[in-house]
Chains A and B, each alone.
Chain A
Amino acid sequence: KAGVTQTPRYLIKTRGQQVTLSCSPISGHRSVSWYQQTPGQGLQFLFEYFSETQRNKGNFPGRFSGRQFSNSRSEMNVSTLELGDSALYLCASSLTLPPDTQYFGPGTRLTVL
């Protein structure tokens, strides 16, 4: 079975722009979570979706948003990019409701100049 895939793997943007990252979960998985990883803050939870509904949201500003489609694929969007948004964005999928094992993708490395 294919693992979690994330596109693009690398992205360079400038301040003020917006960006959309995509995540395809493992086939059959219905829960998708997003995390931000930075050297200073470590791994932080952004949000979780299950069956197209946001179940949980981390402590991030409203510039960070996401959605999940009927095929469980998910996208996250960051608007008005700031330098501090430079990070590795990780997507994880789970088969069902918690507490289920999370399977992580390789991440999207976003650099904001």
Chain B
Amino acid sequence: DAKTTQPNSMESNEEEPVHLPCNHSTISGTDYIHWYRQLPSQGPEYVIHGLTSNVNNRMASLAIAEDRKSSTLILHRATLRDAAVYYCILRDSINNAGNMLTFGGGTRLMVKP
């Protein structure tokens, strides 16, 4: 699987936007970019995913670079409940590698009141 690189940690103020970067320079044409997050004492939860175009849902937005070598998860107004570890994961849609997720270290987001 292609690898992703994320900063170990980031800090944000409550109610401000947060941009969480992810580099994936070896991404293949069939890899989807997925984001999951893990709140304290919980299992990971799905946030958003995309292939080439920017995506929006009720939780966040995903901005994908034109060359697809990087992406950014955007939380429009961070709340204290958004404090979590955010994982950027590449998933091959063609090679049928199963539903397994390959987690990296993720970014620990701290939100200050």
A interface residue numbers (CB < 8 A to B): 4, 31, 33, 35, 42-45, 48, 50, 55-56, 58, 90, 92, 94, 97-107
Which chain A residue lies CB-closest to B46? Answer: A101
CA distance A100 to B44 in the complex (A): 15
CB distance from B99 to the nearest CB of A (A): 5
A31 touches B99 (CB 8 A): yes
B interface residue numbers (CB < 8 A to A): 32, 34, 36, 41-46, 49, 87, 91-93, 96-106
Interface of A: prevailing SS: strand
B46 touches A33 (CB 8 A): no
The residues of B that contact A58 with a CB separation of less than 8 Å are 100
CB distance from A20 to the nearest CB of B (A): 19
CB distance from A2 to the nearest CB of B (A): 14
A90 touches B105 (CB 8 A): no
CA distance A104 to B36 in the complex (A): 10
The residues of A that contact B102 with a CB separation of less than 8 Å are 45
Interface of B: prevailing SS: loop
The residues of B that contact A50 with a CB separation of less than 8 Å are 98-99
Residue B98 contacts which of A4, A55, A104 (CB distance < 8 angstroms)?
A55
The residues of B that contact A100 with a CB separation of less than 8 Å are 99
Q: A55-B98, A102-B46 are in contact. List 4 more A-B contacts (CB 8 A).
A: A90-B44, A92-B99, A99-B99, A103-B46
Contacts A42-B103, A42-B105 given: A98-B98 contact, CB under 8 Å?
Answer: yes
The residues of B that contact A4 with a CB separation of less than 8 Å are 43
B43 touches A106 (CB 8 A): yes
13 A–B contacts from the bound complex (CB under 8 Å) = A33-B98, A33-B101, A43-B87, A43-B103, A45-B102, A50-B98, A58-B100, A92-B101, A99-B32, A99-B99, A100-B99, A102-B44, A104-B43
